Copies of this chain bind each other. A is one copy, B any other.
Amino acid sequence: MVNETDLRSHIRTIPDFPHKGIMFRDITTLLAHPDAFARAVDAMAGSFKGVEVTKVVGIESRGFIFASALAYKLKAGLVPVRKPKKLPAPALREEYTLEYGSDALEIHADAIARGERVLLVDDLLATGGTIGAACKLVERTGGIIAGIAFLIELDFLHGRDRLKNYAVQSVIHYQEE
């Protein structure tokens, strides 16, 4: 059983990054601690124990960190979802809106076979725009979303409301800014 409070103690909060008024949850202090990092990965995997997964999808770039360790642990393949123009082969693209402006994500069109069971992974769930775009990309490849794993969820931003069709699990929750 993972102790959320203990893992949370390894996260450093940095005020006013990247913008004034944002309390940034810095996971690098958790990553740097061998035992905390391993327990975080194990907790993310443990939330989907018994769930069949053949591909783990990680979202650039902090999402790669947890997706990679999870793919290795679960003996699954790893599929990167990347910022535009980074993937060399034919790719699908989804645009999504940000607080100011818009951004886009891409996935290789041949990365996931129709009917494959996919675990999506990112470090943090905020308003859910990024993960929403990643879900659309996976479904356009024909993959089935078996679950979505986050290390951190900012409950007060209600990103989970966009993900009602999916099994969403987060290890650490922040109830308020």
Contacts and interface: CB of A to CB of B under 8 A. Distances in A.
Interface residues of A, number: 41
A16 to B, nearest CB: 10
Given A17-B88, A24-B88, A32-B55, A66 B65 contact: no
Interface in A43-72: 54-55, 58, 60-62, 64-66, 68-69, 71-72
A157 interface: no
Majority DSSP secondary structure for residues of A touching B: mixed
Nearest to A15: B88
A97 interface: no
Given A32-B77, A37-B78, A64-B65, 9 more contacts: A28-B79, A28-B89, A32-B78, A34-B71, A34-B75, A61-B64, A65-B80, A68-B68, A69-B72
